[in-house]
A and B are shown apart, each in its own frame.
Chain A
Amino acid sequence: MTRDRVNYIAMLKFLVLALVLPPAAALSAEMEAPPSPATIADEVPAGGEMGMQDLAEFYDNAGRGSGAPEMDIAPSRSQPVKYTAPQPKSVPVTPPPVSSNKAASSGAPEEKSTGAHGVTIHVRGSAEPLIFRKGADAAAAIRKLPDGSITYIQFYGHGAPGYQTVDPAYGLGSEDAGELLKGKMAPGATLQFSGCNTASIGTETRINPAFGLSSITRRILYFSIPYFQDRFDGRSAEEAREFWEDAWNKDLAQDTSLELRGTRVCGYRTFGLVPERLPGVSHLLGREEATSPGYVAGVRACYINGVEVKP
């Protein structure tokens, strides 16, 4: 009897700790040496503005060190979330496509892997897809492609409501994707965002408990926690609520489909669990630097011109 009670209390404490602790907690320390403070500070937008893109980038960086305490929530929520694509230091004239799962390493000192992420592009008239590890390389290649040439494109990385990263230095929202791909997509082409929560949770009633848990976690991570962070930073309750109520359930896929008329744009309504990304499994399968996810356990949603279609 007493033992049972102790178990409940221990479980509750464990869950509350896991959910409420700031995202830089102990779990993130062991992977890599923490970056210099300047590296993290560079990734915080000027003026302290923070939106979904920062969460997604922060999410990428969380495994690297103690990022959270240095993040700042926007002082003003009156301005719309605006993302400025990071400018790569040097874009190669001809971006090198990668033809295997491993990034090419040409004699240069080996850098620490940034994990599995990348862009896969199927071009009309070419049997082999173009595969890039870095988003900036892919963007440069896309700009050089003729209009109407892309039949399928997949961005694989971390996602957050309304935003997706490809690598720690490159991410995109719906406007960026629209600007990058406008005119480049062939009729009937598909754009796939392979990142968590890149579509809204939708309105359909589902009995799958995993979907419910994913939605609960999404609400906690993208509404409750940032709301209280805002409140601790002195924002008014109304302002914080209004901003995060709008942000937590953003639909990147739907918004992008409105930018790219006629293109089928797909995303995930849930967290997308990729079995081959599990620690140890990716190493065993040699997929630490995979550029596509393989099997994803998640609920997909697709849109054409903002209207949901069958995935």
Chain B
Amino acid sequence: MSDLKALLELLLLAAVPLLPIVAGRLLLRKFPKTEAGQAPPHGAMAGRLIGNILFWCGILAVLLMLLFVLNYKGVI
């Protein structure tokens, strides 16, 4: 039971930086880019903005975590 808890915790912790990436990607797919001259649907601009922020912040989070790991390993 203790091992299972530790494994579950490890997976959840490792997944945390991926969550904003997934959420951002979902938002970007829900609000796709509109063709030139076409009116964007209601809330599309805000949706895309939030989607982009979440997506790129998630990418940065993964990179930052890698930086911590490299730092831990003495590479940096």
Contact = CB atoms under 8 A, between A and B. Distances in A.
Nearest to B25: A4
B46 interface: no
Interface of A: 4, 8, 11-12, 15-16, 18-19, 23, 25, 27-28, 31, 59-64, 158, 196, 209-210, 212-214, 216-217, 219-221, 223-224, 227-228, 231, 237-238, 241, 271, 273, 277-279
Contacts of B35: none
B22 A8 contact: yes
A23 B65 contact: no
Chain B interface size, under 10 / 10 to 19 / 20 to 34 / 35 or more: 20 to 34
B75 interface: yes
A213 B61 contact: yes
A278 B75 CA distance: 9
11 contacts: A15-B65, A59-B72, A62-B72, A209-B61, A210-B64, A216-B13, A216-B16, A219-B13, A221-B69, A238-B2, A241-B2
A210 B17 CA distance: 11
A221 B62 contact: no
Given A28-B75, A213-B17, A216-B13, 5 more contacts: A11-B21, A15-B66, A28-B73, A213-B16, A224-B6
B50 interface: no
Contacts of A217: 65, 68-69, 72
Interface string B2-46: 110011011001101110011001000100000000000000000
A128 B21 CA distance: 50
A223 B9 CA distance: 10
A227 B73 contact: no
A60 B72 CA distance: 9
Given A28-B73, A224-B13, A213 B65 contact: yes
B62 A11 contact: yes
B73 A23 contact: yes
A310 to B, nearest CB: 26
A277 B74 CA distance: 10
Contacts of A19: 14, 65, 69
Contacts of A60: 74
Contacts of A228: 6-7, 10
Contacts of A213: 16-17, 61, 64-65, 68
Contacts of A12: 18
A241 B6 CA distance: 9
B49 interface: no
Contact of A277 (B21, B22, B61, B76): B76
